[in-house]
Amino acid sequence: MKLCIIFILILESCKPNLIRSNDSLPNSQINDSLQLDSLLYKDKFVLTEIAFAEGFSYNLSYNIQSKVITAIAKNEVKNHQIRYDINLQYNYDSFVGDKFHFYDEASYLYINSKFEINKKQIDLRGVSFINEEDRKLFPAGIWMNFEGEPTIKYYKYYGKEYLLLNGQDLFCNGSHCSSFQLYIIVINGDEIQVNPFLLSGVWPYLYTNIKLVDLEKDGLPDIYILKSEKAEIRSINDFDIYGINEIGKAFLKSK
């Protein structure tokens, strides 16, 4: 009888472990970049990108008479001159540049921001986010980046050029910083479109893992945007698909 029990125990120990981790469970949470790539981009036509780790130069100035702070970020990407300006009305009497922090919202009032691309100005005042139409744009730190990570992604596809800029949260004080802005800039000769998105930064859907794809292979890019109410990623249904039309304007394509 003892031999029988031992034999059964040996057989049980040799059976394969069918559930090795949560990854093999249906509808399990996506928790790394490889899983996200497989979920979003496997068997999709992903556009070839060039990533630039060199960040924007950044300068902060203050006009004593008007009490306006101006932040200017500049860069050159594939012979395109890109400039991003932010104007803020300072609320205090004395301004010390080294002690100024964007996350101190009580110290200033946001006036406006704009892009200047190849000397063409795009005023962002009053503009809403593409995926959050009830929210107006607020300034973003496109000059801010983490060491070794790209701040600009460049694509050239069917004669048009696409830039993806990473806009960090200026109101972040060093902890719990996740949300960020994504600017998709489309350059078609002299025509320029700027498409701003507000993203919650749910891991691992961060700037480094965002790519342009052509789902219909029609020469017009698409992008997966995580739905704003999602606090975790479990399936492709957690994303909306946005397309970019012939004139470079992003639009909601599929929920």
DSSP 79-98: TEEEEEEEEEEE-SS---GG
Of 45, 36, 191, 42, the closest CA to residue 120 belongs to: 191
Return the residue matching tokens 């970020």.
73
Q: Where does residue 94 rank: exposed (0-12), middle (13-18), buried (19+ CB within 10 A)?
A: exposed
Is the CB of residue 150 less than 8 Å from the CB of residue 52?
yes
* 11 belongs to a structural domain: no
* 122 belongs to a structural domain: yes
**Residue numbers of the domain that contains 232:** 29-254
How far apart (Å, rounded) are the C-alpha atoms in residues 103 and 139?
11
* 87 belongs to a structural domain: yes
Q: What is the pLDDT of residue 150?
A: 84
* 78 belongs to a structural domain: yes
- Give 129-165 as a DSSP string: PSS-TTSB---EETT---TTS-SEEEEEETTEEEEEE
Q: Give how far Cα 50 sits from Cα of 53, 72, 177, 192, Å.
A: 10, 24, 26, 20
* 44 belongs to a structural domain: yes
Of 171, 169, 174, the closest CA to residue 201 belongs to: 169
The length of the chain in residues reads 255
Domain count, the chain: 1
Q: pTM for the full model?
A: 0.86
How far apart (Å, rounded) are the C-alpha atoms in residues 10 and 151?
56
Of 190, 210, 192, the closest CA to residue 201 belongs to: 210
Q: What is the pLDDT of residue 255?
A: 76
* 41 belongs to a structural domain: yes
- Give 161-195 as a DSSP string: EEEEEEEEETT--SSS---EEEEEEEEETTEEEEE
* Cis ω for the linkage preceding 196 (within 30 of 0): no
* 61 belongs to a structural domain: yes
* 18 belongs to a structural domain: no
Q: What is the pLDDT of residue 151?
A: 85
Q: What is the pLDDT along the chain (255 residues), one digit of tens a residue?
A: 444 433 333 334 333 333 233 333 456 899 899 999 999 999 999 999 999 888 899 999 999 999 999 999 999 999 999 999 999 999 998 898 888 988 888 999 999 999 999 999 999 999 999 999 999 998 899 988 766 678 899 999 999 999 999 998 887 766 556 789 999 999 999 999 999 999 988 999 989 999 999 999 999 999 999 999 999 999 999 999 999 999 999 999 987
Q: Which amino acid is at 55?
A: G
Q: What is the strand order of the sheet 120-123 is part of?
A: 57-63, 68-77, 80-90, 108-117, 120-123
Q: What is the pLDDT of residue 24?
A: 38
